[in-house]
Amino acid sequence: MITKQKGTNDIYGIEAKKWQYINNLIDELCEKYNYNFIRTPVFEATELFHRGVGETTDIVTKETYDFIDRGERNITLRPEGTAGVVRSYIENKMYGEAIQPIKLYYNETMYRYERPQSGRDREFVQFGIEVLGSSDPLIDAEVISLPVNLFKLLGLKGIKVNINSLGDTQSRNNYKKILVDYFKPHIDELCEDCRIRLEKNPLRILDCKVDKDNELLKNAPRIIDYLNKESSDRFEKVKEYLDLMEIEYVVNPKIVRGLDYYNHTVFEIEATVKDFGSQNVLGGGGRYDNLVQELGGPSTSCMGFAGGLERLIMALDKEDIALNLNLTTDCYIMYVNDEEKKYAVTLSQELRMNGFKTEIESMSRSLKSQFKNADRLNTKMLIILNSEDIKNGVINIKDNLTKEEKKIKETEIIDYLDANI
């Protein structure tokens, strides 16, 4: 037997219904915020992720699915959504469109060669939003608010929004120096990766998973204490707008995010549900003002978020939240002989095209078993055909809840169902 690959999942049954429910909610909420759906390719040139995500990030150094295709091109399966969206923004010259800023969302599979564990898969789905072309701090607050509101609408209670500011280039460079001076005398106390980070990207030491309990990290200088006035005023604005939206948050100086491209606002949303384990970050994001230029486009200020759907569903399950899934069937068409079957086929077409969720018997079951099957499908209306009724132009309908049974003229069936379902 061939089995699925490590770190991948089959989604079916009730689980699939939950996914569809959440996907619909994402679509509806993004519509309300006026974000448009974008679909970019699953595979891109390897170089896009090296330049876009950053040469020193774990994602690029250890986790990408790379291959050489039959045309000898270096290809990578996307490990995250932003690089592809930015490539598309530049390639399609969206910066020249009349409507600005460009507000986009995606909801797609991502691929990372990680050591699979709970909440960490090799194929997973990220829902993400990107606003390209506005540097207004209100956009930072808006991008934070959208996933928070999604989680609220789903009924999730235990969430914590951590925000921080990395400041502008000047603040960031200044802080980097301070950080290097702080860590250098203690280089031997850091993990192997962090020793390299000290040279290449010292900020990333702060979110190291290996060194996270090291006192050295806990006492490290905090970037918010080193922001220049402009950056600090900007951060105050973001917080003010979040307050106006009544989005609760805590300023957490440890949030620097794994990716190289962030500046100013960065944030992470954590599930605070009990027993969630270490993979409890539902998503995060931040402002990236240099990436578009880095990838060959015009200087463009951007802000984005990405969150994992597998982890979101885990959080909902841990909080025992029952989603309002539609597990009912409007009509079940029952029959026994071939004449009735043909009538059933015609009728099923009419009911479905008029918007009723309709099941038609297809296992040649006895009438008794058909009743049982209709119950399993939580059917509201049982349509029990018989040759005599067909001759008389009537249809026998039984309300499966009240058990009331009626003969309705076949010309009035749609009106009857409209009024009674």
CB of 181 to ligand AMP, least distance (A): 29
Q: Which residue has the tokens 């950056």?
A: 231
CB of 250 to ligand AMP, least distance (A): 17
- Cβ-based nearer residue to ligand AMP, 55 or 240: 55
Judged by CB under 6 A, does residue 204 bind ligand AMP?
A: no
CB of 79 to ligand AMP, least distance (A): 8
- Cβ-based nearer residue to ligand AMP, 7 or 253: 7
Here's the x/- map for ligand AMP, 253-292, by CB under 6 A: it reads as: -----x----------------------xxxx--------
Going from the C-alpha of 381 to that of each of 192, 375, 384, the distances in angstroms are: 66, 10, 9
CA–CA separation, 224 vs 162, rounded Å? 13
Here's the x/- map for ligand AMP, 118-157, by CB under 6 A: it reads as: -xxx--x-x-------------------------------
- Cβ-based nearer residue to ligand AMP, 221 or 258: 258
Among 44, 130, 142, 310, binds ligand AMP (CB under 6 A): 310
Among 311, 329, 333, 385, binds ligand AMP (CB under 6 A): 311
Q: Which of 1, 2, 22 is nearest to 11 (CA)?
A: 22
Q: What is the 3-state secondary structure (H, E, C) of the chain?
A: CCCCCCCCCCCCHHHHHHHHHHHHHHHHHHHHCCCEECCCCCEEEHHHHHHHHCCCCHHHHHHCEEEECCCCCEEEECCCCHHHHHHHHHHCCHHHCCCCCEEEEEEEEEECCCCCECCECCEEEEEEEEEECCCCHHHHHHHHHHHHHHHHHHCCCCEEEEEEECCCHHHHHHHHHHHHHHHHHHHHHCCHHHHHHHHHCHHHHHHCCCCCCCHHHHCCCCHHHHCCHHHHHHHHHHHHHHHHCCCCCEECCCCCCCCCCCEEEEEEEEECCCCCCCCCEEEEEEECCCHHHHCCCCCCCEEEEEEEHHHHHHHHHHCCCCCCCCCCEEEEEECCCHHHHHHHHHHHHHHHHCCCCEEECCCCCCHHHHHHHHHHCCEEEEEECCHHHHHHCEEEEEECCCCCEEEEEHHHHHHHHHHHC
Among 27, 108, 114, 399, binds ligand AMP (CB under 6 A): 114
CB of 245 to ligand AMP, least distance (A): 22
CB of 14 to ligand AMP, least distance (A): 20
Among 224, 242, 247, 306, binds ligand AMP (CB under 6 A): 306
Count of residues interacting with ligand AMP (CB under 6 A): 18
Piece in contact with ligand AMP (CB under 6 A), picked from 35-43, 195-203, 229-237, 303-311: 303-311
Judged by CB under 6 A, does residue 54 bind ligand AMP?
A: no
CB of 270 to ligand AMP, least distance (A): 9
- Cβ-based nearer residue to ligand AMP, 111 or 183: 111
Residue with smallest beta-carbon separation from ligand AMP = 308
- Cβ-based nearer residue to ligand AMP, 10 or 69: 10
CA–CA separation, 80 vs 49, rounded Å? 9
- Cβ-based nearer residue to ligand AMP, 80 or 361: 80
Going from the C-alpha of 8 to that of each of 4, 15, 22, 116, the distances in angstroms are: 7, 15, 20, 9
- Cβ-based nearer residue to ligand AMP, 225 or 317: 317
Judged by CB under 6 A, does residue 112 bind ligand AMP?
A: yes
CB of 54 to ligand AMP, least distance (A): 12
CA–CA separation, 37 vs 43, rounded Å? 18
Site for ligand AMP in 63-102 (CB under 6 A): 80
- Cβ-based nearer residue to ligand AMP, 112 or 380: 112
CA–CA separation, 51 vs 416, rounded Å? 62
Judged by CB under 6 A, does residue 308 bind ligand AMP?
A: yes
CB of 28 to ligand AMP, least distance (A): 21
- Cβ-based nearer residue to ligand AMP, 7 or 221: 7
CA-based torsion, 287, 290, 294, 297: positive or negative: positive
Judged by CB under 6 A, does residue 304 bind ligand AMP?
A: no
Piece in contact with ligand AMP (CB under 6 A), picked from 44-52, 147-155, 306-314, 347-355: 306-314
List residues near ligand AMP by CB under 6 A: 80, 112, 114, 119-121, 124, 126, 258, 281-284, 306-308, 310-311
